[in-house]
Amino acid sequence: MKHHPLTATGWGCLLAGTLLIVAANVTAARPLLYLGVLLAALPVVCLLFVRLPRRRGEVSRQIATDLLAVGETSRVQVRFDLWTFGIPNGTWRDTLPDAVRGDATGAYPQDALRYDLEGVRRGISTLGPLLLRTTDPFGLAQREQAFGDTRTITVIPQTVALASLPAKVGAAGGSAQTRSTRLGQGADNLIPRPYSSGDSRRRIHWRATAHRGDLMVRQEEEEASPDAVVVLDRAADGWARPGDDPDPLFESAVVLCASAALRLAQDGYSVDVLDSAGEVLGSLRGHEEDREDVMVALAVVAPRGGRRDLRTVVGSTPPGPLVVITGRLDDEAAEKLSTAGAAAPLLFTTDASEAALASVRAHGWFPAVLPADADELAGAWASALPLSRVQHA
C-alpha cells in the first residue's frame, strides 16, 4: 500500500490554511491571514522534519525452523539497527510473500521485533524488505522507507500419517531385506564425492551439489536398485492448466508423494522419488539430510513436460513397493500402464473411468482415487493397500 507524504490530518490542516488565506483576502481580515499561513506552513515544516534526516539501517532475520511446512507456524526474530539523527516514532512492517501469512507489524521503537509466520503455499520465496513508517510529533507528515536485505524462506509440503504396507507384500525390500549399504554416521566415506562418468543419477547428493556448484554423489551407497519407488506424474496434460491459484488436486498429489516416501522410509525401505520423465527428485537412504532434500525438491515441483514409459523410469530391476501418483488417466493410457514388475504397485489417479480402473486392476495395480482434500489422503492410501483389498474381497 502506497502512503502519501501527508497524513489525513496533515491534508486537512493544509486545506484549512488555504481556505483561511482565501477568506482573509476576500474579507480583508488580517488575523485570518496569519492563522491561515500558520496552518498551511505547519504541514510543510513537519514534512521537512520527517524527510530531511538521512537514515541507514541493517536488518537480519532468524527463523526458528529452516523449513516451514504448509500449515505449520514458526517464530521470526528480526534485528533492526537504525542509524539516524534522533529516534523516530512510528510502526514497522515486514513484507510477506503470498506463500506465508502472519501479523508482521508492530510499534517502533521497541526492544524486540518478532512475529509468528504460518506456511500457506509451498515454494521458495522471500521475506522483506522491512518497512519503517514514521510521523512527526503532530501527526501531520509521514515517511515510509525500506531497510535491509530480503531473506529466503522455503515452504515445504505438509505430510500426513499413512498406514504401513503389509510386510508380506514388500518381498523386494523392507527392514530385513534392504539392498542399500548404510554406513555409520562417522564413516569417512560418508562425505559426498565428485560425480564420475558411469555413476547413477540416483546417487546424486543434491544438497552438496547445490552447495558446491558441481555434481556430487554419495560415496557410501552401492550401485543397486532401490527397494521402493515413488513416482509423481507431473506431465502437463494430466493436470489443470496453471493459473494464479494452485491446482488443489496437484497439491494433494505432492502431499501424498511426500507422505508415501516418508512412510516407506520409516518402514525400512530405501526410497527413490522420481517424476514421470525419470528425473530424480530425491532419495531416502536413512540419513537426516535426505528428508530435507526431498522436501525442498517437492516444494518447487510443478506440472510440466511429458511422461516416459514406466518401465524405463523405474529401471530393469523391479522394486518392492511402487507408488505412482498421476492426474487424469484415460482408457488408452490405463491399458498401457505396466507395473514394471513391482511387488506392491499402488496407483492413485485424480480422474479415471470405470473401464480404466478395471484395466489397471487387470494389470496388477491396486488403484484408488486421489482426493483434493489432504485430510482424506490417509483413507485413500488405506483403501489401496493390498491387504485391505483382500479383506474386502
Q: pLDDT per position in the chain (393 positions), as tens?
A: 567 899 999 999 999 999 999 999 888 888 899 999 999 999 999 999 998 888 999 999 999 988 999 999 999 999 998 888 887 888 999 999 999 999 999 988 876 789 999 999 999 999 999 999 999 989 999 999 999 888 999 999 999 999 998 865 655 444 434 444 333 333 334 567 787 776 766 667 766 776 676 787 776 544 444 689 999 999 888 888 765 678 899 999 999 999 999 999 998 899 999 999 999 999 998 777 889 999 999 999 999 888 888 888 888 778 889 999 999 999 998 999 999 889 899 999 999 999 999 999 999 999 999 999 988 999 999 999 876 544 433
Is 249 found in the same domain as 387? yes
Nearest to 104 by CA among 83, 74, 72, 81: 74
Sign of CA dihedral 66, 68, 74, 75: positive
| Per-residue pLDDT, 299 | 94
Please report whether residue 239 resides in a domain: yes
The identity of residue 190, as a single letter, is L
- The 8-class DSSP code of residue 102 comes to -
Strands 142-147 and 67-69: unpaired
Same domain, 112 and 172: no
Rounded CA-CA distance 203/219 in Å is 8
* Alpha carbon distance 144, 325 (integer Å): 48
Using CA atoms, how far residue 274 sits from 96, 203, 226, 257, in Å, is 32, 13, 12, 10
CATH value at residue 117 = 2.60.40.10
Asked if residue 37 belongs to a domain, the reply is no
Q: What is the pLDDT of residue 242?
A: 63
Is 255 inside a domain boundary? yes
**Number of neighbours of residue 1 by Cβ within 10 angstroms:** 5
Q: Which amino acid is at 322?
A: L
89 and 138: one domain? yes
Residue 17 lies in a domain: no
Let me know if residue 91 belongs to a domain.
yes
Looking from the CA of 259 toward its CB, the CA atoms found within 13 Å total 25
Instruction: State residue 221's pLDDT score.
Output: 45
Are 104 and 176 in the same domain? Answer: no
How would DSSP label each residue in 293-331? HHHHHHHS----S----HHHHH-SS--SEEEEEEEEE-H
pLDDT at 317: 77
pTM (2 d.p.)? 0.78
Residues 247 and 127 grouped into a single domain? no
97 domain residue, yes or no: yes
Would 253 be classed as within a structural domain? yes
Shared domain check, 383 and 235: yes
Of 121, 156, 191, the residue that ends a domain is 156
For the chain, the maximum distance between any two Cα atoms, rounded to a whole number of angstroms, is 103
pLDDT at residue 320 in the model: 87
Same domain as 269, residue 131: no
The amino acid at 369 = V
What pLDDT score was predicted for residue 89?
A: 83
User: CA dihedral defined by 350, 353, 359, 362, rounded to 10 degrees?
Assistant: 80
What CATH number corresponds to the domain at position 300?
3.40.50.410
**CA 393/CA 386 separation, integer angstroms:** 11
Distance CA 26, CA 148 (A): 52
Residue 363 sits in the same domain as residue 292: yes
Q: What backbone torsions phi and psi does residue 283 show, to the nearest 5 degrees? A: -140, 145
Residue 199 lies in a domain: no
Q: Are residues 149 and 281 in the same domain?
A: no
Q: Domain tally for the chain? A: 2
* Whether residue 142 is found in the same domain as residue 289: no
> What pLDDT, on a 0 to 100 scale, did the predictor assign at position 184?
35
Q: In this predicted structure, what is the pLDDT of residue 165? A: 86
Provide the domain limits for residue 324. 167-180+224-392
Q: Are residues 368 and 265 in the same domain?
A: yes
Please tell me whether residues 99 and 174 are part of one structural domain: no
Is-contact 328 303, C-beta < 8 A?
no
